[in-house]
Chains A and B, each alone.
Chain A
Amino acid sequence: MRVWDPRIEQMPKSDLERLQYRLLKTMVYRLYSFSPFYHRRMEEHNVHPDDIQNLEDIRKLPFMYKRDLRDNYPDKLFVSSQDDLVRYHVSSGTTGKPTVVGYTERDLENWTNSLARGLVSCGLGRGDVIQVSYGYGLFTGGLGLHYGAERIGATVLPTSVGNTERQIELMQDLKATAIACTPSYLLHMGEVAEKMGVSIRDDTRLKVGILGAEPWSEQMRQRIQDWLGIRAYDIYGTSELSGPMFCECTEQKGFHVWGDLAYVEILDPETLEPLPAGERGEMVITMLQKEALPMIRYRIGDISALDDSICACGRTHPRVQRITGRVDDMLIIRGINVFPSQIEYALMSIPEVGQHFQIIVDRKGALDDMLVQVEVKKEAFSDKITDLMGIRKKVEHKLRNILNVAVNVELVEPGSLPRFEGKAKRVTDRRKI
């Protein structure tokens, strides 16, 4: 098994923790000295850099939020001067006003190395052709994966998003062995390929998918792997962390968060107390080496769980289980927390319906009403209304079991629900409260 940077990736845990403490201490002193924003925030919380005496003391530090980036648009949170920046990226702004991130040369180097470790950990390297079907440009996905893939000596096919038929032709002609894109775009590609008479499983060399930028489920992984004949790996990151950063290894047991670059906490979203390993909670990330735009205890809004045991692959860095929802994606339906990812999970186990869905939330009288639209698959279509009603009942029953809340299901025609080439937008909330 190949490892990109064995000294770091297989570092004994105690050494790694010492390194993390040293990096944290340096970062806090630097911010206290050079970031007016974080200096003020530390003073508001009565914390001084001298209060940080060990790694656990990180909990004394105040949080940072997405809105801090928006409130300080475009670059007031930057600690480096513009002279030292070598790149900007701008987030898509799906949750509000766009946010700007900046990179020094060293920031790009750390980002690229993080991806080099990840790509090698899922079996890629020299000789591979990696098709990068994330958007290139202001979005971090395309350029991030691009440089990571070049770093490990793979050949990059920079197709970016869109023009799916051409992407499939190039995948065949240039013998792509891996693709990096969103899981929903890969499903879309699979469908388009079939319409073109191309089987990704049999007619291409594709063996690996590096899939991220939106939450997806274990069931969806199984479906992609079985259908397309590839191994599908989860990759995680956001522009505030640099971009796509952390990737699963061949064990597929969650993405490794490189401890020399980031420190992860999983907190109870209500009490903000740390949760034991394995329990789901709100992920809070501290970037330990970022220069231009440091992020300390960043409440990224994603829900997940941590596994701190040594991975079977030999890497000592903690793994974070796939993201199972976002704090702000969470819908509250009649007082019950519902994550769209749970619906995806439920639908994956029902062969009669497709993998695309839309959620429409409305208020009928005093009650919340949730409608889930799903496509009936061609193979499952029956002329008999009772059979179709049976499918609908089955989906409703499954959703009620998983969500603990009653849901209405509407069967729609195949191909009629929107497909997403970037981030999927699956919820329409029409409630006026």
Chain B
Amino acid sequence: MKQNKFVIKQISVFSENKPGRLAAIARALQEEEINILAFSIAEADGFGVVRALVDKPKKAHEKLGGLGFNVAFTDVIAVQMKDEPGGLYETARILGEGKINIEYAYAYSGKEGAVLILRVDNVEAAISAIQKGGGTLLESSLFQ
């Protein structure tokens, strides 16, 4: 199947919840001159998952994997939001009406507006729902 141009490869890294682990990941990325575009940490007691959109995901995967980290690619999508009240509601409503579940999400507010990064249970359905609902998806080439 042709890779949808709106599907973005996110890097997910398993990390123990203790001092210095994030620094180790970040330093590894710096050494490879990989830029982090968006990022979040999910934590459960004792461990966490660091999720990041980077400009060179393959290189990041190789580097971190080589250092012994548990690394995985995860497909996410990025939606352009209006940086004003109701911006998030619009995107969430479209997905809710399309019966698409959001597994997790994180956002950043940049120069050209706000962006919501979404991990959903059905990527293809989410993409078409957002397009039909009038939302704007960011292409993966914008990041990578």
User: What is A's interface to B at a CB cutoff of 8 Å?
Assistant: 376, 378, 381-385, 388-389, 410-416
Contact = CB atoms under 8 A, between A and B. Distances in A.
A376 B14 contact: yes
Contacts of A383: 10, 12, 49, 51, 72, 74, 119
A292 to B, nearest CB: 48
A385 B68 contact: no
Contact of B44 (A378, A388, A413, A415): A388
B90 interface: no
Interface string B61-97: 0000000111110100000000000000000000000
Counting chain A CB atoms within 10 Å of each CB, the highest count among B42, B51, B70, B72 belongs to: B70
B49 A413 contact: no
B48 to A, nearest CB: 8
A413 B46 CA distance: 11
A416 B70 CA distance: 11
Contacts of A416: 16, 68
A376 B48 CA distance: 12
Given A381-B14, A385-B43, A413-B16, 20 more contacts: A376-B14, A376-B70, A381-B70, A381-B71, A383-B49, A383-B51, A383-B72, A385-B44, A385-B49, A388-B44, A388-B49, A389-B44, A410-B46, A410-B47, A411-B46, A412-B16, A413-B15, A414-B68, A414-B70, A415-B68
Nearest to A409: B46
Contact-residue bracket for chain B: 20 to 34
B103 interface: yes
Given A381-B72, A382-B72, A383-B49, A413 B42 contact: no
A411 B44 CA distance: 10
B30 to A, nearest CB: 20
Contacts of A412: 16, 47
Contacts of B51: 383
Given A381-B70, A382-B72, A388 B47 contact: yes
A415 B66 CA distance: 12
9 contacts: A376-B70, A381-B72, A383-B10, A383-B51, A384-B103, A410-B47, A412-B16, A413-B16, A414-B70
A68 to B, nearest CB: 44
Contacts of B44: 385, 388-389
A324 B68 CA distance: 33
Contacts of A384: 103-104
Contacts of A381: 12, 14, 70-72
Counting chain B CB atoms within 10 Å of each CB, the highest count among A376, A388, A410, A416 belongs to: A388
Interface in B31-54: 42-44, 46-47, 49, 51
A106 B141 CA distance: 78
A433 to B, nearest CB: 26
Contacts of A415: 68
A14 B45 CA distance: 62
Contacts of A388: 14, 44, 47, 49
Contacts of A378: 70
A376 B14 CA distance: 9
B96 to A, nearest CB: 20
A413 B14 contact: yes
A382 B12 CA distance: 8
